[in-house]
Amino acid sequence: MGLLWIPLLPMLGTLVPLLVARYSRSRIAVYTALLPAIALFLLFIQAPAVFSGEVIKTSFEWIPLAGLEVAFRLDGLAWLFALLILGIGQLIILYARYYLSKEDNMPLFYSYLILFMTAMLGIVLSGNLIQLWFFWELTSISSFLLIGFWSHKSEARKGARMALTVTGGGGLALLAGLLLIGDIVGSYDLSTVLASGDLIREHAAYPIALVLVLLGAFTKSAQFPFHFWLPHAMSAPTPVSAYLHSATMVKAGIFLMARLYPVMSGTELWFLIVSMTGLATLLLGAYVALFKHDIKGLLAYSTVSHLGLITLLLGMNTQLSTVAAIFHIMNHAVFKASLFMAAGIIDHETGTRDMRQLNGLWKYMPYTATLAMVAAASMAGVPLLNGFLSKEMFFAETLHQATLGSLSWMVPVLATLGTLFSVAYSARFIHDVFFNGEPATELPKIPHEPPRFMRVPIEVLVAICLLVGIFPSFFVGPLLAAASSAALGSELPEYSLAIWHGFNLPLLMSFLAMLGGLIIYYNRKYLFRFQAQFPEPDAKLVFEGLVQSFVGNCTRLMHSLENNSLQRYVYLLIFLAMLLLAGPMIDLNATAGHKSQLPLDGLTLIGAIILTIAAVATVLFNRKRMVSLISLSVVGLIVSLAFARFSAPDLALTQLSVEVVTMILMLLALFFLPQNTPKESHPRRLVRDLGLAGIIGGVIGTINYAMITRPLDSISWYYLENSQTGGGGTNVVNVILVDFRGLDTLGEISVLGIAALGIYKLIVRMRLYMPSSDQTGRPWAKGRHPMMLSVVSQSLLPLALLVSTYIFLRGHNMPGGGFIAGLITSVAIVQQYIAHGVDWIKDRLRINYQWLVASGILIAALTGVGSWLFGRPFLTSWYDHFSLPLIGEFELASAMLFDLGVYLTVVGATLMILANLGKLTTSHSPAIKENS
Amino acid sequence: MEAIFSFSIGLLTAAGVFLTLRGRTFPVAVGITLLSYAVNLFLFSSGRLTINGAAVLGTSEVYTDPVPQALVLTAIVIGFAMTAFLLILAMRSRADLGNDHVDGRLPVELEEKKK
């Protein structure tokens, strides 16, 4: 369990700085450091087991079917990275306390920082590839937030965007690669994958998976040609640069390569891509770094160069080179983080990072200068410092590879050249900043030593540089062995961690590099003059240009497809639907099936003829809206008759009552809309639309004909057999609605309620446009409520309510039920509105329709919940027969209560829509109420 | 009988689609209503056409398929709610935008904008 807490504590720690935001800055820093410190402690507890070669695992099932689990796995390699993340993280928290100014939002910064720490721990501790990828993307996002922390600066925003685009894009490639690997192995479990090296390397998809994974790693670790984002990420606050962009995040790509080393490496392809990319990055970074005037720019390119060096080592396919790579990961993290922090101090205490202004700082901050000089010497690879040891191992390995055949000698030569430049820029960092005359007179601040505790993190790191450099096997021997054997996935090769290996070729190469570097630095003005002839390409401009042209092209493409015309979209939608539907119909040989067909009778034929005429009239007169509406109502009536004719009395009743409310609704709507449609469709469009409508009508009709002339094999017989015994009702349709498929019905009345609420909200904010006359200019009639209508409707109301009660009660056994009864009640009440007006109703009917809908849905849901009380599943129904004197035997079923819920919802929803719409024309309008 | 039933569905579909493609909100609402008639009839007919066979136990020898009927019953009610929503939206857009075109602006205005 201890393992789980290592990533979990920082995850919780993300919230801590925000919770303690009101305390003083120092206390915030202490509280922030607390949980990661405990995680660091837990990590050390695991150390003995890990160093003895044990792999500690813990996992929980997440989505087992998709092979996903929450799994954490700790071995030597993961332990080393976790140590770097948590250890340097502690120093960064301390450093940031002094680096951030009072104006900065420190709690937010810490929160982002710990979020990043969590993500990074997640990557190195993941025991599942997909989970690893998740944390991988989380580092991209948290790094985006951190780079853009000073969001008022344009360069910070641009740098953050560039970093996110490059690393996020690489992350997508990585996801594809990991999915491929998972597909090849059949599991995303890291231990299983690591044991399947041969399977993966021999698979046909190996080159694709390799390239995709390497794309992810190279973008993250700023390898050529993706290195350009890293220098621009330097617009982040310096603690971020020290932490993310030298010690941890940029090492994530390296970590991934080391992690997958046992399965991906060992092939010619791996060597070519990885080592050549690494070599190119090493040389390019080292060369460019020399010409950067910004201290952080110099360090950024130096980081690029060192990352290239590690990549080159990993690419060389020998076991020793991997050990050297791991060793250099540690050393680089230590000296580069301390250098960045020193750069931050210089920036903080002088106000500039430009080396053309900064000179002779030795006099003002000797202590910081000493620390920075030791760290820079380690970067240059001076003996007795840790950088020297891993560089010697690197040189030795470049001599021992032969994959380039007769050209293999080039690798050590180029490696020496790269190191030569790294000596030169290290010399420049030391000499230009701390010596070389006096600082420029116009420095923004007078240089001085930083606060005591701001130096502590650097002191710690520089001490490590020295201790590792002088007593390597004592301080890092076991750790290096554990991490390397975990990365290699096999026994360790022979190597010795000593300062002195005698006079050998690597030492000579080191010596040449030192000498050459100093010579180059001494003659730098010629080199600077030469370099000045090349216009410096600004990656930011190039990148922004690319992004803008990409966005521009996308916009153009979208504009050509999307012209904001709903008509076009609907046309395309229906056209595609038509194609999809018509395709399979072509393969159908005979349209008619073998089922015996019903004979045609006169009554049905007359109905069909009326329907045809009405439908055609609806279309023909569509510009005269009232006429069109009347034709539409005829169509609706014939449809309900059709239901009645073909043995669906429930549907007929429902359709008939819905027809009434729909027509009232449409008439009301028409009052607020133009009475006529202007003639504006071009004849060509009419022909086009008619063509599509005709074809799709034909296709649908044919499909329908093909379907209903074929024999039916249905699941319905179950319902017919069990309706009475199981549901206690003889009307099978109603039993299905309230019993068998009660959950569906519950969903459906919820939709009804939601639609009604949505309509209510639309009405409430409506700004009215009320015509005072019809389209010919005649004013509306004054006598609003004809007496005949009032009297008749008033006497009809009790009758209608009686009918609806009857329909409701008999619904379980005869056509009827909650839906139909609800609609009949609504129609009866709406009729009162029409006959008497809103004022009259308002005094007599005090029902809040929203409440009605809510209580209906609640009753239905609670009926379902009720069955839990009897230990049955949701919505199990119950019924029994009772007898009362005078009335006789009758049946009670829980389904009836459910149906009551349906009834109330239907009444509430219908009236909420119609009554509120009707009220719009009166002083009781919800719109007026809301506004006043 | 089946042929004439399918013809009616085809006709309702065609009429519905044509009106749905119009440029003003009210004909579109009418078109959607026609389409929902067609859809409901289509779904209903997936239980095949039966005469005098209502699915009420004890009333007949042969029963029709009750499942499509139950589906269509709720579909009719929800269809009403959707038509209502569409109509209110049409009214609201007329009130807010000053016209009843489905795109919220008249084609004439677009032409002027292009110039």
What does A93-130 look like in DSSP terms, one character per residue?
HHHHHHHS-TTS-HHHHHHHHHHHHHHHHHHHHBSBHH
What value does the mean pLDDT take over residues B44-51?
89
Is residue A753 within 8 A of residue A856, CB to CB? The reply is yes
List of residues 6+ apart from A660 with CB closer than 8 A: A823, A827
Nearest to B18 among A599, A601, A693 (CB): A693
- Residue A138: the pLDDT is 94
Q: Is A532 helix (H, G, I), strand (E, B) or coil?
A: coil
Chain B touched by A658 (CB under 8 Å)? yes
Contact B66 A654 (CB under 8 A): no
Q: Is A771 on the interface with B (CB under 8 A)?
A: no
Q: Which of B11, B57, B103 sits opposite A564 (nearest CB)?
A: B103
Number of other residues whose CB lies within 10 A of the CB of residue B16? 27
| CA angle, residues A294, A299, A301, in degrees to nearest 5 | 95
CA–CA separation, A831 vs A187, rounded Å? Answer: 67
| β-bridge mates for residue A624, sequence order | A676
A window 529-558, beta carbon within 8 A of B: none
| Residue from B91, B99, B103 whose CB has the most chain A CBs within 10 Å, to mutate | B91
SS3 A598: coil
For residue A58, give the 3-state DSSP assignment: strand
Measured CA to CA, the distance from residue A573 to residue A577 in angstroms comes to 6
Distance CA A41, CA A329 (A): 22
**pLDDT at residue A903 in the model:** 94
Phi, psi (rounded to 5 degrees) for A845: -120, 100
Contact A67, A188 (CB under 8 A): yes
CA A590/CA A627 separation, integer angstroms: 40
Instruction: List the single best residue of A619, A692, A723 to mutate versus B (max B Cβ within 10 A).
Output: A619
Cα–Cα dist A727/A893, whole Å: 8
B34 → chain A, closest CA residue:
A632
| HEC assignment per residue over A369-426 | HHHHHHHHHHHHCCCCCHHHHHHHHHHHHHHCCCCCHHHCCHHHHHHHHHHHHHHHHH
Q: Determine the Cα angle at B21 with ends B19 and B22, to 5°.
A: 70
Largest CA distance in chain A: 121
Tell me how far CA of residue A625 lies from CA of A485, A616, A683, B106, in angstroms.
Answer: 82, 14, 20, 19
CB within 8 A of A573, min separation 6: which ones?
A: none
Q: Model's pTM, two decimal places?
A: 0.67
β-strand A68-74 against A888-893: which pairing, if any?
unpaired
Q: Distance between CA atoms of A419 and A166, rounded to whole angstroms?
A: 28
What are the chain B neighbours of A733 within 8 Å (beta carbons)? 55, 66, 69-70, 73
Determine, for residues A608 and B29 on separate chains, whether the beta-carbon distance falls below 8 Å: no
Give the phi and the psi of residue A624 in degrees, each rounded to 5: -95, 100
Q: Show the 3-state SS of A434-489.
A: HCCCCCCCCCCCCCCCCCHHHHHHHHHHHHHHHHHHHCHHHHCHHHHHHHHHHHHC
Q: How far is B23 from chain A (nearest CA, A)?
A: 7
Is residue A155 a contact partner of residue A164, using CB atoms and an 8 Å limit? no
Residue A792 forms contact with B (CB below 8 Å): no
∠ Cα A290 A295 A297 (to 5°)? 65
Tokens representing A862?
A: 């609670």
Q: For residue A632, which residues of chain B lie inside 8 Å, CB to CB?
A: 30, 33-34
What is the mean pLDDT for each group of 10 consecutive residues in chain A (932 residues)? 86 92 91 93 91 88 81 93 94 93 91 95 93 94 92 89 92 94 90 90 92 94 89 89 87 93 88 91 92 90 94 88 92 92 90 84 88 92 88 88 78 90 91 82 78 90 90 87 87 79 84 89 85 77 86 88 84 92 84 84 92 94 91 95 92 93 90 84 88 94 92 84 82 88 90 91 78 73 78 90 91 87 92 85 84 92 85 78 72 84 93 84 62 47
From residue A621, how far is each of A88, A147, A614, A874, B12 by CA, in Å? 79, 64, 10, 51, 15
- What pLDDT does A823 receive? 93
Q: What is the mean pLDDT of residues B63-73?
A: 90
Asked if A720's CB is within 8 angstroms of B77's CB, the reply is: no
Packed helices B25-45 and A602-620: angle between N→C axes, nearest 10 degrees: 160
| Angle between helix A76-99 and A452-470 (nearest 10) | 150
Does residue A59 sit in helix, strand or coil? Answer: strand
Inter-residue contact A179 to A136 (CB < 8 Å):
no
d(CA A218, CA A304): 11
Main-chain phi, psi angles of A62, to 5 degrees: -120, -75
- Centroid of chain to Cα A51: 38
Q: Looking at residues B4-33, what average pLDDT do you find?
A: 94
**What gap in Å lies between CA A13 and CA A461, rounded to an integer?**
24
Q: Is B11's CB within 8 Å of A647's CB?
A: no
Run of H or E residues at A882: strand A879-884
Question: Which of A645, A704, A715 is the best residue to mutate to test the B interface, defined by the most B CB atoms within 10 Å of its own CB?
Answer: A704
Q: Which of A570, A616, A741 sits opposite B70 (nearest CB)?
A: A741
Q: Is A705 an interface residue toward B (CB < 8 Å)?
A: yes
User: B92–A762: do the CB atoms touch at under 8 Å?
Assistant: yes
What is the C-alpha separation between A474 and A465, in angstroms, rounded? 13
CB contact under 8 A, B47 and A733: no
**Contacts of residue A506, Cβ cutoff 8 Å, sequence gap at least 6:** A392, A395, A396, A399
Distance, in Å, from the CA atom of A147 to the CA atom of A845, rounded to the nearest integer, reads 64
Longest dimension (CA), chain B: 73
How far is the C-alpha of A794 from the C-alpha of A828, rounded, in Å?
A: 9
**Residues A925/A909, Cβ–Cβ less than 8 Å:** no
Which phi and psi (to 5°) does residue A446 adopt? -85, 120
A416 CB within 8 Å of a chain B CB: no
Pull the structure tokens for residue A824.
């009949």
Backbone angles phi, psi at A74, to 5 degrees: -125, 115
Q: What is the spatial distance between Cα A9 and Cα A40, in angstroms, rounded to a whole number?
A: 10
Give the pLDDT score at A932. 45
| 3-class DSSP string for A669-699 | HHHHCCCECCCCCCHHHHHHHHHHHHHHHHH
Best A679, A733, A751 member to test B by mutation, with max B CBs in 10 Å, is A733
